[in-house]
Amino acid sequence: MKKLRISFNSIVPAESPVHLLAFRQLKSYLDFQGAGSSLDISFNLFLADQHPRDMARHIRDQGPDMAAFSVYTWNAVCIRTVCGMLKEEIPGVSAVLGGPYATGMARELMADGSVDFIVKGAGEAVFHRFLEEYGAGGSRFENVPGLLYRRNGEVFENAEDGVFDVGVQDYPLDVKEGDSELFYYETSRGCPFKCRYCSWSTSERVIRFYPREKIRRDLEAIFELRHVKYLGLCDSDLFINREHGLWVTGCINRLNRERKRKGWPEVNLSLEINPEFLDDEIIDALLELPMGANIVSFGLQTVDEKVHRDHLDRRFHKEAYTRNIKRLYEKAARKGLGEKVGRTTFVEIIHGLPGDSYQGFRRTVDYIFSELGMTNFISYRFQLLPGSYFWDHARDYDLVCREEPPYLLVSSDTFSEDDLERAERLVFFMYLFSRVFRAIANYVGRNVAEGRLEVYEKIIDHLSRSYPEVMAELAKHYHPSHEDEAIIRMLKYRTDKDFMELKYKIVREAREIVKEHLRQAGKSENGGPRPRSRREP
């Protein structure tokens, strides 16, 4: 019997060339269900900056019957273009889309004649059922829950069939495909929360954990891949269930000890954690993780509790958030890991949040620098994600967004276009202080106890007025979400001799601004009250 030829196409950011987890899972699930023997599956890895025509031709040369894509806001435009070109290259091919964007925009995508099927929600079971019907001629697609298909030119959409329970899935993950240093994995799926900006906010608020035996087996297989150096955990938050999180980090620490014994590099983690979940035991487990290039991001979005409560439908307890981050840094410092932890943890915020304002955004930045004492943060411009609460309620907030994905905010009832520009300017300069002019951030951190943003704003004004060309040049190399790339490009400036001299000059001038600020506030350089001069009364 002729096998059905399927190509799984991961179109990923250029700086992160790694297969999407969804396709590994699909293939593993199909193999486990015994469907693999009738399928001939090939994996393609494309970088989002490749030309869509090259992608379409590469797929064409493999001669597939079906081409599948996992769609996110950032690759949606590219995938639609590739699907259109694919139809020109191989008219009979079936284009199948899945993933979060395809789920939220299913009807709109099907209106495009180059898309044949959409698999909504968790893909494994739906895709398996879909393939069974596809192989049988496609006369009973109405029996596949969560499928959109076209018949006689009309689009049909089948209702989804509840949550795919990963808690009973025992299929071993196929880890063979690819040789990237980064490997994506998840130990749970779903989220019990409903943050209104998130595309999961309108889905069922359920989190399910994979069976421990499966996780242990999968992790062992991944850690047997010598080329893997980073494990990107896709869980919404590993410590939503502390026992689960501790068990997983315990597994990872054990497997890393085995790698060390073999003389292999340890595997670093990249994960998101809500600091409110941290306690002493979790902190100890985190500090045991290798500290080479872990990236732990703390979602904050805004420091305004009212915005969280009234607009984002998100629980946020500032006191617990602040206390636990400080506790992490104190423990790290006691273990001699302060600098490493400081370098590899950062806060994520959003500018342009519905209900927030530019002044609110300033307070958030000041909170990070003044109260948390951190300098690493990333701020994303608000995006209107299909499938999110705000997508359905954009009018309530006068949300005006770009028409193309990723639907970046242009203005809202509380954030004007000017406000967004000001916010982005502030983010850029704060990025410079944390990455390029670290000496300034260190000096401010040592000498200004509170209201640090006000001091930074004075320095920003000075830099903008005195060095407009240098700042414009640095801005050209800056990209907020491609952090490593941006740093590498900026570091070239740091090693340039002329720039080093200029940098020292800028740092000296910034220090004078800080001193003047302290003088005006009646403070000494270490933040305490300024000692009276003998001549003062």
User: Interface with ligand SF4 by CB under 6 A: which residues?
Assistant: 191, 193-195, 198, 200-201, 236
Between 186 and 419, whose beta carbon lies closer to ligand SF4? Answer: 186
**Beta carbon of residue 406, minimum distance to ligand SF4 (angstroms, whole number):** 15
Between 7 and 236, whose beta carbon lies closer to ligand SF4? Answer: 236
Between 93 and 385, whose beta carbon lies closer to ligand SF4? Answer: 385
Q: How far is CA 473 from CA 139, 185, 380, in A?
A: 60, 38, 21
Pairing of strands 4-12, 268-273: unpaired
**Beta carbon of residue 207, minimum distance to ligand SF4 (angstroms, whole number):** 9
Between 82 and 295, whose beta carbon lies closer to ligand SF4? Answer: 295
Query: For 19, what's the count of Cα atoms within 13 Å in the CB-facing half-sphere?
Result: 22
CA–chain centroid gap for 36, Å, is 32
Between 123 and 387, whose beta carbon lies closer to ligand SF4? Answer: 387
Give me the sign of the Cα torsion angle 24, 26, 31, 37.
negative
Between 195 and 255, whose beta carbon lies closer to ligand SF4? Answer: 195
**Beta carbon of residue 72, minimum distance to ligand SF4 (angstroms, whole number):** 14
CA–CA separation, 488 and 472 (whole Å): 17
**Beta carbon of residue 71, minimum distance to ligand SF4 (angstroms, whole number):** 18
**Beta carbon of residue 191, minimum distance to ligand SF4 (angstroms, whole number):** 3
86 φ/ψ angles, rounded to the nearest 5 degrees: -60, -40
**Beta carbon of residue 204, minimum distance to ligand SF4 (angstroms, whole number):** 12
* Alpha helix stretches (DSSP H) within 371-416: 389-392
- Two structure tokens written together for 449: 């106890």
- Two structure tokens written together for 5: 């030829």
Between 192 and 250, whose beta carbon lies closer to ligand SF4? Answer: 192
**Beta carbon of residue 246, minimum distance to ligand SF4 (angstroms, whole number):** 19
> What DSSP letter does each residue of 415-428 carry, written as one string?
--HHHHHHHHHHHH
Q: Which residues of 161-307 form beta strands (DSSP E)?
A: 182-185, 188-190, 207-209, 230-233, 268-273, 295-301
**Beta carbon of residue 275, minimum distance to ligand SF4 (angstroms, whole number):** 13
CA–CA separation, 56 and 46 (whole Å): 10
**Beta carbon of residue 234, minimum distance to ligand SF4 (angstroms, whole number):** 10
C-beta separation of 356 from 302 below 8 A: yes
Between 236 and 375, whose beta carbon lies closer to ligand SF4? Answer: 236
Between 87 and 194, whose beta carbon lies closer to ligand SF4? Answer: 194
The residue to which tokens 């992608």 are assigned = 55
Between 116 and 276, whose beta carbon lies closer to ligand SF4? Answer: 276
**Beta carbon of residue 192, minimum distance to ligand SF4 (angstroms, whole number):** 7
Measured from the Cβ of residue 451, the count of other Cβ atoms closer than 10 Å reads 13
Q: What amino acid is encoded at 101 in this protein? A: Y
Q: Give me the long-range contacts of 512-520 (CB less than 8 A, separation at least 24).
A: 513/455, 513/458, 513/459, 513/462, 514/443, 514/444, 514/447, 514/448, 514/455, 514/459, 517/448, 517/454, 517/455, 517/458, 518/447, 518/448
